[in-house]
A = this chain, B = another copy of it.
Amino acid sequence: MTEFEEIKKTLLTIYPFSEEHLKIFTDKLSLKEIKKKDFLLKQNQICNHIAFIIRGSFRLYQKTEQNELTIQFFTEKNWVSDLESLMLKQPSKNYIEANENSKIATISLLDIHNLMEIDSSFSMLNSLIANLTFPTTQISTLKLKSPDKRYEHLLLNNPDWINRFPQMQIASYLGITPETLSRVRARIN
């Protein structure tokens, strides 16, 4: 299972787990195929898994009256979840939708907690969960508001997103209208 190797690699960046421990962890994983436009999570569901993206991409967003508000994108070799719902065990405000046909490996929070009881070194999996997303950066870029600056910031930090996700979604992520994004792109390129 070469796909588990990638997962083990990400685990080793947070803690020097033994091969044995890694095996115990990966044994808890379930592989799943998710078709484009299918949901990993819907509003009001309580999120109780985290998923490693083997292939494909996802988008976390909220539905407002007449819009979708994109909070975050996730691509392969990263973990995806709704941290807030997961940790607070609350119904989610968000949708997590596959933007492409994707393959993921999921593990439940319960399993993670059980692993922690088996062996304290698994406590380090917390960092894994905590790593999921720190939107602080997003908050500051939103407030340093110039659309051009925000787009440049994206170009610098997540250049791959730009050709991978529809501009409507990128615009929503940046907190601007699609028209403005189009003009920003014309201006900058």
Contacts and interface: CB of A to CB of B under 8 A. Distances in A.
Interface of A: 62, 64, 69, 71, 83-84, 87-88, 93-94, 113, 116-117, 120, 123, 126-127, 129-131, 134-136, 138-140, 142-145, 172, 175
Given A130-B83, A131-B88, A69 B143 contact: yes
Interface of A: prevailing SS: helix
A116 B120 contact: yes
A94 to B, nearest CB: 8
Given A120-B117, A142-B175, A129 B126 contact: yes
Given A83-B134, A113-B123, A127-B87, A142 B142 contact: yes
